[in-house]
Structures are given as C-alpha cells and as structure tokens.
Amino acid sequence: MSVVTPIPTDYQSDIAELKSLLSDYPDLTQTADPQCWDMLAGAKLHSFEANTVLFQEGMVCEHLMLIVDGCVRVFRDSGEGREVTLYRVEPGQLCIHNLNNLVDGVQYPMMARTETGMSGLVISRQAFKKGLDESASFRNYVLRTLTGRLSHMVDLISGFAFDRLDLRVAVWLAEQFERSNGHPIKVTHNDVADELGTTREMISRILKDFEHKRCIELARGKIHLVCKHTLNLVSEGKGKARKDLA
C-alpha cells in the first residue's frame, strides 16, 4: 500500500477539494455535518495495483475504504478452485462486509481484490467509530448503505436458490452488453463460471445453446451480441424463442 497524499485537516479551506474527490458519494457529502467532515478530512488517499487483495477471509478490517477510482471484486472461494462473485464495489459504493466488520467486529468472511488499478480514501477504524458515534449524517449514511446492500444480497441468494442457471447466465450477459453498449465483451467461459459460482463445462454448454438460438456469437476470449431482443427473451425465461426473431 503506497500513500499518495494526506487530505488536509483544515476542511474549512479544502472542503471543495474533498467534495470533488468524493463526487461519486453525493448521499454522503450533500448532507455531511461538521463531525462527518472532520472524519473525512483526516482520511488518506492510497493507491493500489490491480489484483491487490484488500481484505481476505478471517481478517479484521482496520479501515473503511471509500473508492475514488477503480473497482473491487468481492468473491467467495470454495477451496476447490471454484469462485463465485458476490458483488463489486465501485466509486460511490461501500463494501457491506467491510462495514459489518467495523460496526460489529465480525471477521471478514470472503475475499476482496482490486480488478483494476484503484485509489481510495482510507478511514481508520478509530476515526470510523468516532464518526459513527458523533456524526448523525454519517450514521444515517452507513445505515442506508447496509440496508441497500442487504437487499442486494437477498436478491443474489434468491437467484442462487430459485433461478435456473441458464436464466442467470442470460441476465448476466444482458447486463454486460448493456455496459459495453452492445460491443463484444472480453470474457472467458471460466470467467463467467467464476462470476456465477458454477463450472466451466456448464457455462460452455449454456453459451453454446445461446449461440444456437442466435442470441450471441462465441469467439476466443470474447462474446459477441447477435440479437439483443432474443437474449432478453431468454433472460425472461422464454428460452424457446423462435429463430426468426433474430
């Protein structure tokens, strides 16, 4: 971990710089009270290389991370070479397990690793506790974040328990193509398996079926979108979509 620069403690003169740095956190900054700004002004900006492990199973977190740039993948490793992505944390978001550890002292139950080069504001456990005790605005922000992330985790677990794997794959693909504006997504079958907590063989079979339905076209290390409408029909559980929809 390499420190880039400390945030000045005189937040009265540098509050504009803090707001700019935390532009993706309007729910935090727009209602921040003086106690919250005191906490933020004492944070330090750190940079991390891609594939850096920030938190790992059994770890006690010593800081809260406010991501300014980059992305962190939070995932579970089965110990048998299989992984499942639980969620990602990007600018404007907080890691619910990081918060849970700081609030209740529960050991971090999974892995958090940077997917890209990343920078973030690091708030020490002591400063976090002080902010939680003294700042009503920060306390409300943490509670809202925990509630929102909890809802996401319930949806994720429900998907594992009740949704067919082919529907989960279709929904995941639709989300990726939405992000890429329809451009090919660079991903391997093993990557998709890790995202969804299954095997590469199962993913390969499902993707071949989607290719047969003319939703997608497979290439080495890439997946091309052929027909968004057909893929949407598949993701809605209408897997027997007619080929003439393409």
Q: Does pLDDT of 245 surpass 80? A: no
Domain boundary among 113, 138, 160: 160
Residue closest to 61 by CA, chosen among 1, 135, 5, 122: 122
* Tokens describing residue 2: 């390499």
Same domain, 129 and 232: no
Output the domain CATH number for residue 96.
2.60.120.10
> 20-67: per-residue pLDDT in tens?
899 999 999 999 999 999 999 899 999 999 999 999 888 889 999 999
Cα distances (Å, whole numbers) of residue 71 to 51, 87, 92, 112, 114: 10, 11, 11, 10, 6
Residue closest to 162 by CA, chosen among 154, 172, 170: 154
Domain boundary among 106, 140, 160: 160
pTM of the predicted model over 0.85: no
> 165-216: per-residue pLDDT in tens?
888 888 889 888 988 899 999 999 988 888 887 888 888 989 998 988 889 8
Q: Does pLDDT of 11 surpass 50? A: no
Distance CA 126, CA 121 (A): 15
Domain boundary among 142, 160, 178: 160
pLDDT, greater one: 203 or 162: 203
Same domain, 137 and 200: no
Same domain, 155 and 39: yes
| Amino acid found at 4 | V
Same domain, 122 and 241: no
Output the domain CATH number for residue 192.
1.10.10.10
Same domain, 75 and 49: yes
pLDDT at 246: 32
> What average pLDDT does the structure give for the chain?
83
Q: How many domains does the chain have?
A: 2
Same domain, 130 and 211: no
> 66-125: per-residue pLDDT in tens?
999 999 999 887 666 677 788 889 999 999 889 888 988 878 888 999 989 999 999 999
What is the span of the domain harbouring residue 69?
2-160
Same domain, 13 and 95: yes
